[in-house]
Amino acid sequence: MFEEFKSHLINELPFLFNNKILIATSSGVDSVVLCNLCNDLGLDFSIAHCNFSLRGEESDEDAKFAEALAKLLNVDFYLKKFNTISYKENSGLSTQMAARELRYKWFDDLLINYDCLLTAHHLDDQLETFLMNLSRGSGLGGLLGIPIMNKKKIRPLLSFSKNQIVNYARENNISWREDSSNLSNDYLRNEIRNNVIPEFKKSAPDLLKNFNKSLNYLKNSKSYIQEKINETSKKIIFDKGHQVKYDIKEILRLDNLKLCLFEFFHKFGFNQLTDIENILTSQSGKQILSKTHRIVKDRDFLILEEISNMSFVSIDVRSDAAQVDTIYGSLFFNLCLNFEKSVDPSSVYVDLGKLVYPLRVEVYSKGMEFIPFGMSGKKSLSKFFKDKKLSIIDKNRSLVLVNGNNELIWVVNQRMDDRYKITESTSRILKISFN
C-alpha cells in the first residue's frame, strides 16, 4: 500500500510534498495509518485531535493515544476538548452535526498556520455516503459523495479500501484504538456500515472495485452535464449583484426542465422540484423559501436572493450629519453655494430651508406617497414602482429620505419630491448623495 499511496500523491496531489500539513487524527486505524504513511514519505505535518467528551474515559484515552502518536512520530500536537452535548442542546443540531461543526470550526482556526488539512476518509466511507445520499433522493452531485479536495481539506485515502488500510496496519505493527460507538446502529451511517454493506459484499465480492469504477463514470457524466448547464445558463441567468434573475420563458423552453431546475437551485437549498415548477406559472409575488435563500416570481422572471438576517431600522439624521451609513450604502450631505443640474439619480439638490430635522432614512412601506419631481399631484410609491417595473425585491429594498414633517424628500437613487426642489427663493442648498 505504501508504494501505491506514494504514487497516488505524486500523480494526484504532488503539492503535498511541499506543504505544511495538519492531519485530523481520531486514534482510529484510518487516521493512524495516514499519519504513518505521511511520516514515512517525509511530509511536513502536525496532528490535531478532537475530544468530544461523548464516551467518558474512552474519549480521554483516545486523546492520550493521539498525543503519544505525535511524540512517537516527533510532530507537533494539538488537542481540543469540547462539551459537545451542551453545544448540541444550544444549537439544536444532532450529536453528529454538532461534533462536525465544532471540529471544523477548530480546524479552520488551526489552518491559519497550515497549507491544508488531511482527513482519513476512504473508499468504504465513500460507498456509505453514496448509499446514504441515494436513500435521501440526492441528485448526481450527492451521489458523487466525498470530494478528494474541498478548498484546504484533502482526503488522500479515498481510493483505498478499509481492508487495505487495516492490512497495512497489521503488516507494519501499527497499533490503533477502536471507537466503541462505531458498533452502535443508532445512526444511519453505522447501520449501512455494519449491516447493509457486509451483506452486499457477500453477493458482490468486487463491490468496492466496481463502485470505484462507477464513481469515475459518474464524475465524467457530471462534468459533461455541468458544461451543458453552463451553456444553458448564459441564456437564462442574469446576475444583478444582490440578486440573480432567471428568464422564465427560456426556462420553459428547456427539454430537460427538471434536471436544469435541480442544477440551478439545489445548491441554494431548494430540493422540491414541484415547488419550483409551480412557481414558474404562478402569479407575480409568489415566493418559496429555503433555509438560506428565497425565490420570488416577478413577471417574466424568477428572482433568487439570499435571505438576510439584517432588518432595516429607521435612522435619524441630525442637521449636522455629513454621512449616514445604512446596510445598503451611505448617504452624504453637503452644503452647496451653487446648484448643478444633473441626470445622475444618485444625487439630488434640495432646498435646505424646507427641511425639518431630524430627517429619517427608512425603507419603502405600503401607503407611502410623494409628489414626483416635475409633477403637481401626489402618487403612491407602489404605483411609482409599478410604472418603473421594479421587482418586488428591489421595491422592498428601496430607501426613502423622510422630512421631519413626514413628507418624502427623496426616493433614494430614483426621484426626489417636487416640493423640495431648488427655486428662485431658495437661499441655502443641500446636496444629498448616495453611494
- 155 Cβ partners below 8 Å, 6+ apart? 118, 119, 120, 121, 146, 147, 148, 149
Clarify whether residues 190 and 270 are in a common domain.
Answer: no
Asked if residue 226 is part of any domain, the answer here is no
Clarify whether residues 37 and 159 are in a common domain.
Answer: yes
Clarify whether residues 289 and 331 are in a common domain.
Answer: no
Instruction: Report how far residue 300's alpha carbon sits from residue 378's, in angstroms, rounded to the nearest whole number.
Output: 29
pLDDT at 298 over 70: yes
pLDDT, mean of residues 210-225: 85
Clarify whether residues 254 and 367 are in a common domain.
Answer: no
Clarify whether residues 83 and 162 are in a common domain.
Answer: yes
| Percent of the chain residues topping a pLDDT of 70 | 97
Which of the residue ranges 215-224, 249-258, 381-390 would you say has the lowest mean pLDDT?
215-224
> Residue 384: which CATH number?
3.50.40.10
The pLDDT value given to residue 186? 62
The pLDDT value given to residue 183? 61
Clarify whether residues 334 and 365 are in a common domain.
Answer: yes
Clarify whether residues 288 and 386 are in a common domain.
Answer: no
Asked if residue 83 is part of any domain, the answer here is yes
Q: What are phi and psi of 67, to 5 degrees?
A: -65, -40
User: Per-residue confidence at 310, pLDDT binned at 50, 70, 90?
Assistant: low
Asked if residue 235 is part of any domain, the answer here is yes
Instruction: Report how far residue 304's alpha carbon sits from residue 294's, in angstroms, rounded to the nearest whole number.
Output: 6
State the chain's mean pLDDT as an integer. Answer: 89
Q: Are 424 and 327 in contact (CB under 8 A)?
A: no
Clarify whether residues 58 and 181 are in a common domain.
Answer: yes
Total domains in the fold of the chain: 3
Q: How many Cβ atoms from other residues are within 10 Å of residue 429's Cβ?
A: 18
Asked if residue 82 is part of any domain, the answer here is yes
Domain stops at, among 287, 306, 325: 306
Clarify whether residues 236 and 162 are in a common domain.
Answer: no
Domain stops at, among 164, 188, 203: 203
Clarify whether residues 285 and 384 are in a common domain.
Answer: no
Asked if residue 248 is part of any domain, the answer here is yes
Asked if residue 137 is part of any domain, the answer here is yes
Q: What is the pLDDT of residues 374-410, one digit of tens each?
A: 999 999 999 999 998 887 778 888 999 999 999 999 9
- Write down the pTM of the prediction: 0.59
Q: What is the pLDDT of residues 326-356, one digit of tens each?
A: 878 899 999 998 887 777 889 999 999 999 9
> Residue 239: which CATH number?
3.30.465.60
- Hey, what's the torsion of the CAs at 365, 371, 375, 377, to 10 degrees? 100
Asked if residue 249 is part of any domain, the answer here is yes
Give the DSSP H or E segment for 98: helix 95-110
Which of the residue ranges 11-15, 172-176, 210-214 would you say has the lowest mean pLDDT?
210-214
Largest CA distance in the chain: 96
Domain stops at, among 256, 284, 306: 306
Give the DSSP H or E segment for 80: strand 77-81
Clarify whether residues 33 and 79 are in a common domain.
Answer: yes
Q: Which of 61, 49, 45, 58 is nearest to 24 (CA)?
A: 49
Domain of 324, in residue numbers: 315-434
More confident residue, 59 or 307: 59
Asked if residue 213 is part of any domain, the answer here is no
Scan for cell 492490512, then name that residue: 167
Which cell numbers in the block locate residue 299? Answer: 413577471
The pLDDT value given to residue 184? 63
Clarify whether residues 70 and 181 are in a common domain.
Answer: yes
More confident residue, 144 or 241: 144
